[in-house]
Structure formats: structure tokens, C-alpha cells
Structure 1
């Protein structure tokens, strides 16, 4: 049995291996390195008797004094149950790390420790615990069962929606009600293209301002759309306020006509029509105020997602808070899931949540009945034994300071 590894395997060889595995993840797509162009990148292939058994797209961060840190997001992709393979991959990564003057290599494989719906109790997956043992016995240092998003580069907990033909059937009642409210207010969701990137960047900027966070800008979103092409999904929620206002006025005129033609003894009908009149009149007042400010159709929310193989990551979202009562997210998210299902995508990851599941992100994402997926977490492979402890301490301190900022 002969093991070998190669630096610089082709994009095709790496991506085909990643897509054929049960660990397919966008962050291990070869194009992700183009998105993260402030890092260097190499693709490594690991072979047993000439057959590719593992692959890793490695990001390389330059550090002072010519040193580096290596990071393999959601990788390497391999069968972690095979101890000999794990031993070879880790020893080979160390050798590669030395050629890059790496202090350490950080990786967070796509191995699930738990899967459950919110409120369910479940045990840790025994096969994953066995894979954890293989990693630790071969020199990978586990950072443990971290609970906070800020404690790791990639969230250890994520809310993931597995697609199916009638997604809305799985949603809670209040979600269906809010979907209906969005439709009543005239929210329409569709896929956008490069010409819509600026409008999307604008709503993301509004979200940044409201939440006090820094996300990304127009150039970044444009680059991502160009890199991934048809695999980039830009979903936009729009409203045409002037058009919707005219429709409400037509509805009101019809209701008033129906009321005038209704006899006094038709009490149930009169009550129903009166309620409809009050509701539509309320909408008219609300929309007249909006139309003065926004006479043309406008984008009020959006989501940028990217597929890789048969899976999808929902990466960035934004909303104009003036329209929060239009509930555009309840038009957007179901549309993303529907389009994903139609394109043979098996799951759409809504992103990370806190491990306590009591944060605002979890509360919002629970509206779409996601599967909570708990990954095994991060590992470090020491490369420079002299500086390793000091460098990981400095890395952890920097991360802590950034999360407290």
C-alpha cells in the first residue's frame, strides 16, 4: 500500500471529489479561494495506490516575519473513519505547512456531531466520536464543544433547511400567516442578476447600520456573482407601492359598492364587508405615506446564496427596516427553498446560530423549521513547535478582542 500527496491538483479533480463526497460544502469549492483573495491558496490531493482518497483546499494567511497560518474550511474532505488515511493526511499537511513556514494549521471538517429540530433531544453520533478519536490520536488538537459563534471561524451550530416539494407544509402556522401578510402588501420575490447588485448592497448597508455590524459591499457581492455565475442566487423582494395603492383603492370602491347593495338584514355580510373596508382603508393610509417617498418600484430586501454541487449556503441578507411590517423575509426564504428544490439542491444552510439556541438568530430561523446541525468543531495541527503555543494564544486573544469590539 503506497501513500502519496500532491500540491497543486486541478480545480476539476478537487471539485469533482468534493461534490461526490458526503461532505460537500461551498467553503471547499476551489472558487472559494477566489472570493477569499486576501488569503493565498493551494489545493492538495492525497492518494492511496494512485487513487484520490482525500482533498483539501488550503487557505494561507501571511503573518509577520514571513510566517503563515493555514486554514482548511470544512475540510479536508476524506473518510475520517480510516485511521491510516487520517494519519497520512495529517503528517502530509505538517510537511506542507513547513514549506509555507506555518505556525499551525487550523481545520473544521464537515463532520456532524448532532442533528435535531429545535426542542428535540438527541445523542451525539457515535461514528463521529470515533472519527474524533482518530484525529486526536494522530496529533490534531481539538478545540472542543464551543458554544458561541465568536469562538470559531465557522459556526459550530447552523440552521439548515432540507428541501422538499411542499416546504410551506413544514412551517409553523405563524410563518404561513406572515407569508400571507407579505403577499397582501404586494411583496414579490424573484431572482436578480448583476444589474441588481447595487440595490442589494444598499439594503445590506441598511442592515449593517441598524445592527452595527460590517458585512460586505457592492464590489464583493459583484465579485461573488461573477465567480459563481449561475450558481449564485440573488433573490430580491420588491414592492410597487403606487401599483398596490391603486389596487387597494379599487378594492375599496368594490367593497363600498357591495355594502350599498347589501340589505340591512344581511348582518353577517355587512359585518364582513365592514371589516374588509376598515382593513383596506388602513392599508390605503399606510401606502399613501410610502408612495410620497417611494413612487417607483423598489427592492426592500434580498438574499445572496451560492450553490456547490447539490448543497447551498445562504450567505448574506439585508432588509430596509422601513418595510419590516411588509415581512419580506417571509416571501424571500420560501422562494429560496423552492428554487433550491427545483434545482436538485438537497439543503440550504441559513447560517450559524448560538449553541444555546436562545439568540435572536435562532428565533428568526426557527420560523422555517430548520434542522439544527452541530459540527464537530475546530482542530489545530502544530507545525512550528517552538512558536505554536504562543501563536495560538495570540490568535485566541485577537479573536476575543474582535468579538468584544
Structure 2
């Protein structure tokens, strides 16, 4: 059984190297994300061929009443999702984890583009899917993301992908004297947190703690805090990560001061420039549910040419059908109370 021994330094290093170099890797499939989510349990499984790892999956374990659990491979697995045989072999490695923790199901939501063929492949194989035609409020994460692809662009040509209004907004913020800095300091995390809290209160969104953001900063060496300011006023802040060539715009906020200066636009432009500088291939603005809301409009101003990236959604391997059906009636109600996407 290829269950990662977390105490074996050599095996952990080999596992990490595979996940971080894989084109199917994601910051949420890194072991470090499981350490950030320390209110969940975690296990990591993998497959080998000729002594080399060919597939991997980091599993979060949410304990439920009665000693049961839900397994969740956030943005996993790390392999070609269209290779169903490979995925099923990897999931078989997780059977021991499911048995040990009395799992009701294992949920995974890969960064894989939706297609009717992929949907049918998993539906016909017996998986339960929450996808294109289902209630999007049932999803843990939005199924559609706004991703700006950076390949073959510099800081000037990338602006051709922005909307005309987006370009004008950025240039306007520069002319007004909005400035942007970055660091990894506790001081700037505290300043960022104030912008995040102000945004959350303005939009009636549940907040995370400042300690949570410090934990992300501490786990990921390529995490940065960006602060937009004008004169002595803090206008906006953001937490972004360069994960081995994939940039993630994770959390952001803005104060109620000088909002007409559009600090979030110029701040994102500076983060995009960082991505180009380090050779990142994409800048992920995160998801959205409605095309009519302000969050979508903001993200589209950067991704005007690339548009929305539509993922397959959630795929569930069910271990206990009766209890799974019970949970499927309760979970949607819980998710309706969850916060909206929190960038902005």
C-alpha cells in the first residue's frame, strides 16, 4: 500500500517533488495545505511505476458524528484525470484510509476542464457528480474560475488581455499616485487583515482569523502580502502565492477609504507582473458563481480575452450509500450559509 509515511524524510521529499513538479499539481494538493487545514486530519496516497511516483493525492479528513468521516481531496488528484484507470488505481490506495476513518465518501474536485466526455466517463463509472447542470450552491468551491494565462507575455503585452476599461482603471490609479508594496512581515499581514475585515463587513461575509493568514505565509515560502496605499492611507491588501509557476490570488480586501482610486486593480497588476517576472504560466483570480455580481465583473476586467475556465466540478466516490444520501440532503443547507468568494 502506497500510503505516505510522514516520518520518512526521504519518502516525504520524493512525494513533495512529484506534486510540485507535476503539471497537474495544485497548491491545495501540496502537503503544506493539509498542514494549514490543521482542524482536519490528513493522509497522502500515491502510485509508483518502475520506482517512480506517477500519481498522488492529498486527502483531508473531516470527522463527523458517530465516528464517521468525509474525505476531501481538494483540487486533486495529482494526475491526468482523463485516465480513469489510473485514477481508479489511485483511489484504491485510499480504500484503507476510508476504512480506517469510516468514511462515507471521498470527494475530489480537480482543476480539469469540463467536457461532456469527461462527465460521462465518471458518471458511467459509478461516481456521483455535482457539475454543469446541478445547483452550484452545493459546491464547496466555485466550478468556474477566472484565470489569466501569462505564457509569452511581458508586463506591457499582458495588458492587451485586459478589458479596455480595466487598462484605463489601472492607468488612472497610477496617475492618482496609488502605490503598491509587498512583504512577508507580520505588520503587513495585520494591515492586510484590516482591509480584509473591512471588505467582509461591507459584504456581510464570514471572516477567517489573522492567525490563519500567518499560517499560510509560514507554510508557503512564495507567499507575499501586497499592500496598496496612497499617501498615509492604506487602501487595499492581498495574499497571493506563486506555487511553482501557478499564481493564486487567494484573499484580498479594501478599506472604505478612497475607494474611487481603484487600488485593487493596480495591486493585482503588480502581482501579475511578479508572476511574469518569475515565469509563472497562469494567474488564478479564483472562482465566481454569478456573472452579474461585482466580483465577476472585477475579475473579467483582467481576464477579458481568456474568459472563464470551467471545471468538471465535484466527483464523489461513495463508500456508504445510505449515509451519503442523508448527507446530500443536509450538506446543501450548510453550504448556503458558507461565505461567498472572499477576494475583492
TM-score with structure 2 length normalisation?
0.88
Distance 1:111 1:5, change over 3 A: same
Taking the TM superposition and a 5 Å limit, the aligned residue runs for 1:82-161 are: 82-113=83-114, 124=115, 129-145=116-132, 150-161=137-148
Taking the TM superposition and a 5 Å limit, the aligned residue runs for 1:69-84 are: 69-84=70-85
1:378 maps to 2:314: yes
- Aligned-pair CA distance for 1:402: 4.5
Q: Deviations over 1:73-111 (max 9, x none)?
A: 111112233343233223332342111111111111121
Distance 1:44 1:319, change over 3 A: same
Q: Which residue of 1 aligns with 2:241?
A: 306
Distance 1:134 1:12, change over 3 A: farther
Q: Which residue of 1 aligns with 2:263?
A: 328
Q: Which residue of 2 aligns with 1:179?
A: 170
Which runs of 5 or more residues in structure 2 are unaligned? none
Distance 1:403 1:191, change over 3 A: closer
**Higher-helix-fraction structure:** 1
Q: Which has the larger radius of gyration?
A: 1
- Aligned-pair CA distance for 1:154: 1.6
TM-score with structure 1 length normalisation?
0.75
Distance 1:203 1:335, change over 3 A: same
- Aligned-pair CA distance for 1:348: 1.1
CA contact (8 A) 1:146 1:377 kept: no
Which runs of 5 or more residues in structure 1 are unaligned? 114-123, 241-296
Residues matched between the structures, number: 329
Taking the TM superposition and a 5 Å limit, the aligned residue runs for 1:38-53 are: 38-53=39-54
Q: Which residue of 2 aligns with 1:286?
A: none
CA contact (8 A) 1:29 1:308 kept: no
Taking the TM superposition and a 5 Å limit, the aligned residue runs for 1:2-401 are: 5-8=2-5, 10-113=11-114, 124=115, 129-145=116-132, 150-163=137-150, 164-165=153-154, 166=156, 167-194=158-185, 195-229=187-221, 231-240=222-231, 297-354=232-289, 357-370=291-304, 371=306, 372-401=308-337
- Aligned-pair CA distance for 1:50: 4.0
Q: Deviations over 1:162-182 (max 9, x none)?
A: 122022233222222222221
